[in-house]
């Protein structure tokens, strides 16, 4: 239990000096803030930029940061050193994942403020963001575990991230993509978030998200067993 805290703190110190990761955490909330405050077009839907950038944020930031942190620790052999100390692998993943979760929830809070949500809307919005971030962390962990080094990691992360974050947007304009994209948690999150003001909540979405989490968790477990030290 203590190890999780130590790893969390180490990661906090480390990430503050890691520009590539820092940018991931602040890019989307920052762009959304700037756009919301400065761009005013007639007939623009309410909270347009919040609804556009927050789903993108939760598919990009946790996946990129989680996978690149793990891939770097594998490349630099620090993960190996930890696992040969009395750190259990789940403690490591919870430490790093927990860190990313908290930082991303701060980012989600920024969106929440920008959207001027109130009462139950806050709960709804933050709850959905939390579920999305968690799923992305598991996916990021899977990719990080599967890649031997950072270069390999980037080449897997990029396409996965692009599919997850752009399919939901393209779905709005194309029925074929919309139908295919339904199986992705990111599209379900996108739809749920876009219904924050109406609190329109579909059971189907939750089922699809849970299935997404399960699949990535199983993949993660299998890959982890295979590549423990490599």
Partner 1 sequence: MKVIETFNISKQYRNTTVLDKINLEAGKGEIVGVLGPSGAGKTTLINILTGQIRADSGDAYILETSCVNLDCKIYSKIGIMMDSFGLYERLSVYENLKFYSQIFRISSNRIEYVLNKTGLYGARKTLVQNLSKGMKARLNLARAFLKEAELLFLDEPTSGLDPQTAQHIHGLIEEEKQKGTTVFLTTHNMHEAEKLCDNIALLCDGKIVEYGNPQKICSKYNYMNVIDITLKNGEKISLPNSPKSSDKIKQLVESESIKSIHSSEPNLENVFLLLTGKVLKQ
Total residues binding partner 1 (CB under 8 A): 20
> How far is it, in rounded angstroms, from Cα 105 to Cα 128?
11
CA distances (Å), origin 45, targets 111, 119, 124, 200: 16, 21, 20, 17
User: Quick one: which of 2, 43, 46, 119 contacts partner 1 (CB under 8 A)?
Assistant: 2
Q: Enter the tokens of residue 90.
A: 């789940």
Q: Tell which positions 64-83 bind partner 1, by CB under 8 A.
A: 76-78, 80-82
Beta strands per DSSP E along 40-177? none
Strand runs (DSSP E) across 14-131, as ranges? Answer: none
Which residue in the set 1, 41, 46, 84 belongs to the binding site for partner 1 (CB under 8 A)?
Answer: 84
List the one residue from 38, 43, 176, 229 that touches partner 1 (CB under 8 A): 229
| Options 86, 175, 176, 203; binder of partner 1; rule CB under 8 A | 86
Q: Does 195 bind partner 1 (CB under 8 A)?
A: no
In angstroms, the CA 15 to CA 7 distance is 12
Q: Where are the beta strands (DSSP E) in 37-82?
A: none
Tokens 């806050």 belong to 122
Q: Which of these segments, 86-94, 97-105, 181-189, 210-218, binds partner 1 (CB under 8 A)?
A: 86-94
Site of interaction with partner 1 (CB under 8 A): 2-3, 6, 10, 13-14, 17-18, 76-78, 80-82, 84-88, 229
């Amino acid at each position: 239990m203590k190890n999780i805290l130590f790893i969390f703190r180490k990661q906090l110190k480390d990430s503050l000096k890691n520009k590539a990761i820092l940018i991931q955490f602040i890019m989307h909330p920052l762009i959304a803030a700037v756009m919301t405050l400065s761009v005013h077009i007639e007939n623009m839907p309410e909270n347009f930029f919040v609804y556009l950038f927050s789903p993108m944020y939760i598919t990009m930031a946790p996946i990129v940061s989680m996978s690149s942190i793990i891939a770097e620790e594998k490349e630099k052999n620090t993960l190996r050193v930890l696992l040969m100390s009395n750190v259990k692998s789940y403690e490591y993943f919870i430490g790093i994942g927990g860190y990313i979760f908290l930082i991303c929830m701060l980012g989600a809070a920024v969106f929440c403020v920008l959207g001027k949500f109130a009462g139950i809307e806050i709960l709804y919005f933050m709850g959905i963001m939390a579920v999305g971030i968690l799923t992305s962390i598991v996916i990021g962990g899977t990719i990080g575990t599967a890649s031997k080094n950072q270069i390999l990691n980037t080449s897997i992360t990029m396409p996965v991230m692009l599919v997850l974050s752009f399919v939901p947007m393209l779905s709005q304009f194309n029925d074929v993509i919309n139908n295919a994209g339904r199986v992705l948690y990111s599209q379900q999150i996108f739809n749920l978030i876009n219904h924050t003001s109406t609190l329109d909540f579909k059971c189907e979405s939750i089922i699809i998200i849970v299935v997404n989490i399960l699949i990535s968790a199983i993949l993660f477990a299998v890959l982890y067993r295979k590549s423990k030290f490599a």
